[in-house]
Amino acid sequence: MTGQEVKEYKKLLKSLFDFMAKMGYTKKPYPKIVLDNSEPENELLCPTGYFDPNINAIRIFTNRRLLKDQMRTAAHEFVHWGQQLNGDIDKSGYKSDKITEDNNLRKLEAEAYLYGNWGFRSWTETLQKEHKL
């Protein structure tokens, strides 16, 4: 991405985050965001993004992904950011990174999928209504 594209991308991320915070799906302050353009090893099984509680940062994988998909990932991770600020995510990590093995992770992921998708969809509808895109 060029410098201007990164600037516009971050502007969209901030708009989405502010909207989701206003709706109560995440919490301020704005998290650190890492954009990762690395080549996926396996397109089906590769991560699309994640929240790292050890460094309080969200990593979004961008290579060969539609902008809409990247923003949906960001919305999901913004919910995890809010969970961290609420104390719902323990910095010592999860018992597992598999929802089939960790009931707490399953609960956190369910919230992130639900509120992340609601937040993303509501944000895009608001942008369309206001003709901002």
> Domain range holding 107?
3-129
Handedness of CA 109, 124, 17, 67 (dihedral sign): positive
In this structure, are residues 42 and 16 in contact, taking their beta carbons and an 8 Å threshold? no
CATH classification at residue 123: 3.30.2010
The partner residues of 50 in beta bridges, in order of sequence, read 59
Please give the Cα distance from 106 to 58 (Å, whole number).
19
Query: Tell me: the pLDDT tens digits for 81-133?
Result: 999 999 888 754 555 677 788 888 899 999 999 999 999 999 999 999 988 66
Counted domains in the chain: 1
Query: Tell me: the pLDDT tens digits for 23-54?
Result: 999 999 999 999 999 887 777 788 899 988 88
Per-residue tokens: 35: 């954009």
In this structure, are residues 51 and 75 in contact, taking their beta carbons and an 8 Å threshold? no
